[in-house]
Amino acid sequence: MPNKSIFISAVVPIALFVGAILVYASASVVQPGNRGVQVTFGEVNANTLEEGLHFINPVSVVKQVSIRQKTDVIRASSFSSDLQNINVTVKILHKIPESSVVRIFTNYAGDPFESLIAPRVQEAVKESTAMLSAEQIAKSREEVKQRSLELSRKKIGELLMVEDLVIEDIVLTPELQKAIEAKMVQEQEAGRAHFFQRQAETEAQTAVIRAKGDADALKIRGDALKQNPQVLQMNLIEKWNGVSPLVIGAGSQGASFILPLDKN
């Protein structure tokens, strides 16, 4: 009995110690924003681990793969449709979908940007700029962005999510930049000259209309006086100041008359 109790007292602590080691070795924590990939002797488990504490095979290793959105910047050197060299700086917003975590870890070691995303987006930007002239590219960033985003998603497929592209900068050669600026100045001056021309034409048309209106009004008044000569006589009487003598000769349709010389 004494030997048995000595044996138990020696084995129990060892067993507890070993058990604690096994529990510690099998416990794994997946950090927030990540998914865990289990690797056992080089073999990858097809099922991923979500955030939090997990108990796994003690001989397995858990690799963390981020599924958060990331932002990276690339620069693409391309040519426009008129063969001008264009340098475009693009900010890429991308993330790994949960359904692709194991494949991304297996094929791209968990970081697919340099080997998958960057070259596809560069290719998409080059194809987009090749469809536009240098002037159109400089004026239409949104169009370049939308075309590049659509092409990037088609090239990358569903393995990764390209959520958005931001065109940060479009750099033209100094000579081309000056040429575009000079053309824009010419277009503004031409637009201003066209505006003044239209304004002068409008003013001229307004003057013609006003003159025609005045002429029509005079004609109407003349015709009215011919038909009613007494109206003219009444106007003359109303405007007489009562001092100066006034002799009115006979008109074509009315008798002459003399206004009195004295004002009573």
Please report, as a single letter, which amino acid is at residue 145: K
E strand or H helix that includes residue 94: strand 85-95
Report how far residue 123's alpha carbon sits from residue 12's, in angstroms, rounded to the nearest whole number: 65
H-helix segments, 78-171: 101-108, 118-129, 134-139, 141-156
Q: Which comes out higher in pLDDT, residue 112 or 110?
A: 112
Report how far residue 131's alpha carbon sits from residue 114's, in angstroms, rounded to the nearest whole number: 26
pLDDT at residue 125 is higher than 50: yes
Which of 39, 37, 46 has its CA nearest to residue 64? 37
**Which range is least confidently modeled, 22-36, 57-71, 78-92, 128-142?**
22-36
H-helix segments, 157-263: 174-227, 229-239
Q: What percent of the chain has pLDDT over 70?
A: 62
Q: Helix (H, G, I), strand (E, B), or coil: what is residue 173? A: coil
Which of 56, 60, 87, 83 has its CA nearest to residue 74? 87
pLDDT tens per residue across span 133-172: 888 888 888 999 999 999 999 999 989 999 999 998 888 7
Q: Which comes out higher in pLDDT, residue 235 or 95?
A: 95
Side-chain-facing half-sphere of 178: CA atoms under 13 Å: 3
What was the pLDDT predicted at 261? 47
Contact assessment for residue 78 and residue 12, using Cβ atoms and an 8 Å cutoff: no
Report how far residue 209's alpha carbon sits from residue 119's, in angstroms, rounded to the nearest whole number: 67
For 60, counting Cβ atoms within 10 Å of its Cβ (0-12 exposed, 13-18 middle, 19+ buried), the class is middle
Q: What is the dihedral of CA 14, 20, 22, 26, to 10 degrees?
A: 180
E strand or H helix that includes residue 44: strand 43-49
pTM score, whole prediction: 0.59
Report how far residue 121's alpha carbon sits from residue 94's, in angstroms, rounded to the nearest whole number: 11
Report how far residue 125's alpha carbon sits from residue 143's, in angstroms, rounded to the nearest whole number: 11
